[in-house]
Amino acid sequence: MRWINCPSHQGENVKDLLREHFEDSDRRVLLLGGAGFDPRAPFFPLELHKLLGNRLRALLLKEERPETTPDLISRADTIRAALTSELKDLVVVPIDILSPDLSVVGGRSAVTRVDQELSSGWTDIVIDVSALSSGISFPIIRCVLEWADQNPQHRQMHVVLAENSIVDSSVSAMPLDKSKEIYGFKGKYGLESTSESARLWLPQLAFDQRDALNRIYDEIRPHDVCPILPFPSRDPRAGDRLLEHFTDEILNTWQVAPRNVIFAAEGNPLDLYRTVLRIDDERTVVFQEAGGSQLLLTPTGSKALALGAVMAAIERDLPVRYVESIAYRVDWDLIEQAPESEVNLLHLWLAGEPYSSGRGANTG
Amino acid sequence: MISGTPGSGKTTLARLFQYRTVKTLLNHIDLASYRDVAAALADCGMLRDGVPATLTCRIPLTGEYRDFWEFPYPEEIRTRLLESMLQARACLAWVQNLRAAGHSSQDVTIVARSDAEAAALSIGVDSIDNLYEKARRVELAIYEISAALLPPAIDRLPTVVKAPYRPFDVIEKFEVDLGDFVSELRPLVVFDDAHELHVAQFDCLKSWLVRRELRVGRWIMTRLDALSPEQVLYGVPSRALEDLMRVQTKRDITEIRFQSNQKRSVDRKRFQKMARDMSNRYISMMPAFDQRGIAELASILANDSPKLPSGQIASLRDLVRRDCMRFGISEHRREQIKQLVSNYVKGTTDRDVGEDVQIAMERILLHRYANRVRPGDLFSNNREDIEPNKPLKCDSGVAHGAQIHLMHKFRRPYYWGMSTLCDSGSNNAELFLQIAERLVEQAEIKIVRNRTVSLSSREQHQLLRGRGTEILKSWSFPECENVRTLIKLISSHCLNETLKDNAPLGAGANAYGILQSEFDELPQKHERLAQVLQFGIAYNAIQLAPNHKTKRKLWCLVELGGASILHYGLPFYRGGFIEGSVGELSDVLARRGA
């Protein structure tokens, strides 16, 4: 497992780590993040700006969707203005998520743009997934990882997240009418060589994703389903409520066997990462003589858990299937009432020194 | 080229025609239900003397192919990659079909064009194993390009991709040795879901497939939203197809729309028959119903007309009495109106004309009478002799109007019975099944609880309305929010008209009428509205009934679909509409910010 000892940090430890790591004046940092309406968007850019000043370049992607409402546009403009006034070297790039004929093109566009920025001039690339959708963050993570792996001793790759469950639950996605693999995560799905494989689908359950998940199920028709529930989690009953919400799907449509539920620690992506890899290892042995096994992931809901999914998907080249959103609707009243203490910081060090020098990795 | 709305049966047919499916059917031909299907396949030429005539495979053109249009290559290369991938996948699918049907490699010979030896060898025509292996290599090479984060530069494309690969130009037929004789199979590929492609890709695909050099049979199936607004709204052929048809003879291209051009009453009868048959087949496969000996969906839907409780009937009578007083209608006139109703009831086959409906009918006629006399006359001293300016008539329109009024005023069940259930499907099999599913579920629960299976009219009504609401809320196709906005506007107008006390449209309205001449200019003058309507039609939310003649004018009716009708409590009877305009619909979209 590539990331079995991945350095990961939570809460205030994230700030401490960043402060300590970026003290070195030789570090030149490219920050990749989101610049939309999400209130979490400015957190890490401003935090890193305080630490790095001129050594920071921020390339922020503004996801454009066809049915964005005026309130989201106005909030995005406010955030952009705040960032522009603080960050010296800031570029905000609009990325069309959908083409005029509603085909998903955002991932490809984002990677093409990010690729133009990658150079040996950076010592560190930080990907802030707080305000990026998975259709954009996943391909970027993969792209930057490939960059970092070309010169692991001198290229560091970090992923950071400011997670806020209240913001997550205040944002409702309006899904497209079809699913597909996230760009760069086809994982040999649909190929002749995997057509006879036993397909196991691992969907991460989320309250507003019922239609999307059912759509994916109808399209991929897996042989088995193992839903992923967050446990332990900040809300100890989150898993129970998700089970209740998806009762019909679990018992009838997807016919999930009672023991086939995966519990993954919400704030620790490595837990899900390890679990997925273990399942993949075991199934490879079992189905070796019977057409092989194929795991399909669908990361919705908690972004921290989604990071575990993307790590597993990259390591084992697993397909990741999702339904892109044509628009978002936001309950601003709920967001504005949310206390700041609800924000949970997360950092993962995915490439660079911890993997090349052989030193022990700390998790804290 | 076959086009139709979701749920019209395109994919079902494509799956049925696949070689492995047909072979499975023939292997179980002793089953009565399979014999009917086999007869239908023989009628359309898929079977010949009891054996398949074609080697058919289905290739769904999912979003993966659309991604090819985003490759950073010239159009010619992108098109060539698409064509190669489709041909590779077709070859793989044909061989998989043959193997699934139990044929070994030794049994199958591929017959190539006599003048294409070199090309034949390059695609591996000497055996199905070689054909398969070559196709697999081409598929993998192109797949890796599409799966890469950054596609390779043109000069770094793999050789297997750059070399020509044209099985469709080469393969004439497959011969299968069945022991007694050799069966000749013409290869046929069905490209399903072609609407997923980019418009330019779609046109390139059609241009390629229409070429006479191709030996294999080829069908394209698409949803209506792949077509332009003009094609959807007016049913005209695509421009590319028109161009092609000018240079080819018409027999080379056949365009089939899964929307009937027949009379609507004919369509309705045919759909009702199909829906009943389909639902009965489903019911008979469900163990819970099978154990109870229930083989028809209609048998679990009670047909007893609902009745208002006596308290509500008293309220209704009171309403009538007050209306009479308000309009100054004499007792003599009222008796005449009652007699009209009574005569109708004696002569009608409509079973839902109980006491409550009759009182409501009487009320409608009273209001009609009041509208047809001059206001002053009602209060004159000679009231008994006032004749209306147009004689009153009591017909089925009045009865249906009464029934729907009772639903809204007294929550009397209105949606019940097999006929209503069939109508709720809007002539779409998938929609019908989605709606019927809820009734079947409820009946199954009753069986499990050992209760009487039959669903009362009230139960049916509540379940159907609830299901309509659920379907409306679950829409998530492009432009669905705007379609909902239009439907809300149309329904609001229809409801106002339907609930008028004199029921001017009889059963009521469920459509919005636009003058045909105004509608004809819609795609040019109101592009946004045309696009929204296009998606509404493509996803069965609304239907169009063009050239509807009323009051000596031609109208295009925008009719609500079954789910909307259930949700808003409108009638299923077609023909009642509100006069409107393109401008009003455009304005409501503009206010929404569309």
pLDDT in tens, B112-123: 988 877 788 888
Helices (H) and strands (E) in chain A, counts: 13, 16
- Whether residue A200 is contained in a domain is answered as yes
Position A364, amino acid: G
- Whether residue A1 is contained in a domain is answered as no
Q: Does the distance separating the beta carbons of A108 and B70 come in below 8 Å? A: yes
Residue A301 vs residues A100, A164, B221, B375, B496: alpha-carbon distances, Å? 27, 11, 36, 66, 43
Judged on CB neighbours under 10 Å (0-12, 13-18, 19+), B206 is: buried
> What is the per-residue pLDDT for B522?
85
Residues of B at the A interface, defined by Cβ within 8 angstroms:
62-64, 66-67, 69-70, 92, 96, 135-136, 139-140, 143, 146-150, 196, 198-199, 474, 476-478, 481, 593
Do A196 and A154 lie in a common domain?
Answer: no
Segment (H or E) for A280: helix A269-286
Give chain A positions within 8 Å (CB) of B195: none
Q: Does the distance separating the beta carbons of A183 and B149 come in below 8 Å? A: yes
Q: Work out the average pLDDT over A352-363.
A: 62
CA pair distance B178, B394, nearest whole angstrom: 69
Asked whether B185 and B95 are in contact (CB, 8 A), the reply is no
> What is the per-residue pLDDT for B122?
84
Q: Work out the average pLDDT over B22-32.
A: 85
CA pair distance B113, B167, nearest whole angstrom: 10
- Whether residue A340 is contained in a domain is answered as yes
- Whether residue A2 is contained in a domain is answered as no
- Whether residue A63 is contained in a domain is answered as yes
Query: How, if at all, do strands B553-560 and B542-550 pair?
Result: antiparallel
Asked whether A58 and A91 are in contact (CB, 8 A), the reply is yes
Q: What is the pLDDT of residues B326-343, one digit of tens each?
A: 888 888 889 999 999 999
ipTM of the complex: 0.91
Judged on CB neighbours under 10 Å (0-12, 13-18, 19+), B263 is: exposed
> What is the per-residue pLDDT for A364?
36
CA pair distance B424, B275, nearest whole angstrom: 11
CA pair distance B159, A219, nearest whole angstrom: 33
- Whether residue A25 is contained in a domain is answered as yes
Do A164 and A207 lie in a common domain?
Answer: no
Query: How many Å lie between the alpha carbon of B56 and the closest alpha carbon of chain A?
Result: 18
CA pair distance A197, A291, nearest whole angstrom: 5
**Which residue does chain B place closest to A196, by CA atoms?**
B96
CA pair distance A21, A19, nearest whole angstrom: 6
Provide the CA B577 distance to its chain's centre, in angstroms: 21
Do A256 and A224 lie in a common domain?
Answer: yes
More confident residue, B223 or B133: B133
CA pair distance A63, B475, nearest whole angstrom: 24
CA pair distance B131, B168, nearest whole angstrom: 12
CATH of residue A137's domain is 3.40.50.11700
Asked whether residue B31 carries a pLDDT value surpassing 80, the answer given is: no
CA pair distance B327, B371, nearest whole angstrom: 10
Instruction: List the 75-94 stretch of A: residues with Cβ below 8 A of B.
Output: none
Do A187 and A315 lie in a common domain?
Answer: yes
Do A208 and A233 lie in a common domain?
Answer: yes
Asked whether residue B260 carries a pLDDT value surpassing 70, the answer given is: no
Asked whether B183 and B213 are in contact (CB, 8 A), the reply is no
Do A267 and A152 lie in a common domain?
Answer: no
pLDDT band per the 50, 70, 90 thresholds, residue A360: very low
CA pair distance A298, A343, nearest whole angstrom: 24
Do A345 and A244 lie in a common domain?
Answer: no
Do A182 and A165 lie in a common domain?
Answer: no
CA pair distance B74, A354, nearest whole angstrom: 43
> What is the per-residue pLDDT for A363?
36
Segment (H or E) for A127: strand A124-128
DSSP state of A289: T
Q: Does the distance separating the beta carbons of A103 and B198 come in below 8 Å? A: yes
Query: Is the pTM for the entire model greater than 0.80?
Result: yes
- Whether residue A364 is contained in a domain is answered as no
Do A161 and A18 lie in a common domain?
Answer: yes
CA-based nearest residue to A311, from A109, A164, A145, A153: A145
% helix / strand / coil in chain A, to the nearest 5? Answer: 40, 25, 35
Percentage of residues in chain B with pLDDT exceeding 70? 91
Which range has the worst mean pLDDT, B71-75, B109-113, B532-536? Answer: B532-536
What region, left, alpha or beta, does residue B216 occupy, with left being phi > 0 and alpha being psi -120 to 50 degrees?
beta
- Whether residue A345 is contained in a domain is answered as yes
Q: Does the distance separating the beta carbons of A184 and B476 come in below 8 Å? A: no
Q: Does the distance separating the beta carbons of A180 and B62 come in below 8 Å? A: yes
CA-based nearest residue to A305, from A278, A275, A271: A271
CA pair distance B84, B123, nearest whole angstrom: 11
CA-based nearest residue to B218, from B311, B317, B94: B94
Residue A85 structure tokens: 């006034």
> By residue range, what is the domain housing residue A305?
177-323
Give the number of domains in chain A. Answer: 2
Do A164 and A181 lie in a common domain?
Answer: no
Q: What is the pLDDT of residues A195-253, one digit of tens each?
A: 889 999 999 999 888 889 999 999 999 999 999 999 998 888 999 999 999 998 999 89
